[in-house]
Amino acid sequence: MGKKELKFNSKAIHGGQQPDAAYGAVMPPIYQTSTYAQSTPGGHKGYEYSRGANPTRTALENALASLENGHFGMAFGSGMAAIDAVMKLLSPGDEVICTSDLYGGSYRLFKKVYEKYGIKFRFSEMVDMQELVSQINENTRLVWVETPTNPMMNIIDIEAVAKITKSHKLLLGVDNTFATPYLQRPLDLGADIIMHSATKYLAGHSDVVVGALVVKQQELADQLYFIQKSSGGICGPMDSYLTLRGIKTLHVRMQRHCENGESIAKYLENHSKIDKVYWPGFEHHLNHEVAKKQMTGFGGMISFVPKGGSYESAIKIVENLQIFTLAESLGGVESLVGHPASMSHGSIPKEEREKNGVVDALIRLSVGIEDVEDLIADLEQALN
């Protein structure tokens, strides 16, 4: 049976992988080398210099492509380096339409770096597709979608957006960091480019900063490989190895993230001291039907607002948590908590962030894979 026909859990372990050619090592060795011996000029075994390609990175890139049902994977030194490579497909005068509730680092790269080079960014909630269409003009090249969004857990209908980008001959890029291919596969829904901060769920152990792109089309892959090699924002062999190691348990970790996420979302929803809980698994979630259609589970990311909460009371709660570690980032095996108003979204003016629902009292959880009873007990003592 060819590996293409494997189901997801098997692909997480075997997809795109072969025992190493030299000694049959089951895990690819960490090829900690910059260069490769040539027998005669140009006489090499497929590798010349590690900016262009490295066998450990190739193993990761093949695994990424397999998981997302793509044909080509690229691994970068960070999620931002991966998005940066996508931006380099564009030329001055080109326009991008992106999700309005965007990851802060992406917003900064777009507005503070790429606007200077003559690229224009428009923002859309992408709930009303007519509104999205109304922003398209002859300069539009790319639509950039994040779903679920951070920290409000809004859901955008990838298939509906893909219909529009296809009919207008635009590229559609999806930041699939929050969902992972375990829960959502955007290429199957019509996207052209998938991006990951593999730092989060894919690597899953909070020990690397890595980015990824996956595409299906040869021409697009050629352009992106050329940019990757030319700009050089590559993932090193050690980090490639660690990310590949993480991916091999993605499906078991995600299953537990989803189970724990559901228990905690429901616990918070029924808590007398909680006002609002944002989690796409609730039937009353604004885009629950879309989430149900395009995702196979609802993940472990949850945001909530305590009743009558303030900036100070939210900080008190996050400081009182013992098992949930107060830290930036998400998607690791350990549970983390963040206070968006003072951390990830601190640089966005209060009025601006509150328009998107990021109020002072909002708290965001990345639910880990510990025993959920311990996590709930921790929340209970902190809320009291």
**Contacts with ligand PLP, residue ranges (CB under 6 A):** 78-80, 103, 105-106, 146, 150, 175, 177-178, 197, 199-200, 209, 211
Catalytic residue among 200, 216, 253, 364: 200
The residue behind tokens 């909630």 is 125
Smallest distance from ligand PLP to CB 279, Å: 17
Question: What 3-state DSSP class applies to 309?
Answer: coil
Q: What is the DSSP-derived secondary structure letter of residue 29? A: P
Q: What is the DSSP-derived secondary structure letter of residue 110? A: I
Smallest distance from ligand PLP to CB 161, Å: 17
d(C-alpha 173, C-alpha 302), whole Å: 24
Catalytic residue among 3, 51, 245, 266: 51
Catalytic residue among 101, 157, 175, 360: 175
Instruction: Tell me, yes or no, if 364 is annotated catalytic.
Output: no
The residue whose Cβ lies closest to ligand PLP is 79
Query: Helices (H) and strands (E) in the chain — how many of each?
Result: 14, 12
Smallest distance from ligand PLP to CB 312, Å: 27
Instruction: Return the number of the residue (178 or 372) whose C-beta is nearest ligand PLP.
Output: 178
Nearest to 88 by CA among 226, 235, 236: 226
Instruction: Return the number of the residue (136 or 144) whose C-beta is nearest ligand PLP.
Output: 144
Instruction: Tell me, yes or no, if 353 is annotated catalytic.
Output: no
Smallest distance from ligand PLP to CB 206, Å: 12
d(C-alpha 308, C-alpha 331), whole Å: 29
H-helix or E-strand spanning residue 130: helix 129-134
Smallest distance from ligand PLP to CB 199, Å: 4
Instruction: Tell me, yes or no, if 117 is annotated catalytic.
Output: no
d(C-alpha 142, C-alpha 1), whole Å: 38
Smallest distance from ligand PLP to CB 211, Å: 5
State the sign of the Cα–Cα–Cα–Cα dihedral 112, 114, 117, 120: negative
Instruction: Return the number of the residue (103 or 121) whose C-beta is nearest ligand PLP.
Output: 103
d(C-alpha 333, C-alpha 146), whole Å: 22
Cα separation values, 291 from 11, 40, 282, Å: 24, 55, 10
Are the beta carbons of 65 and 218 closer than 8 angstroms? no
Catalytic residue among 11, 57, 88, 103: 103
Instruction: Return the number of the residue (243 or 287) whose C-beta is nearest ligand PLP.
Output: 243
d(C-alpha 319, C-alpha 312), whole Å: 11
d(C-alpha 344, C-alpha 337), whole Å: 11
Instruction: Tell me, yes or no, if 200 is annotated catalytic.
Output: yes
Instruction: Return the number of the residue (63 or 209) whose C-beta is nearest ligand PLP.
Output: 209
Instruction: Return the number of the residue (203 or 375) whose C-beta is nearest ligand PLP.
Output: 203
Q: Which residues are catalytic?
A: 51, 103, 175, 200
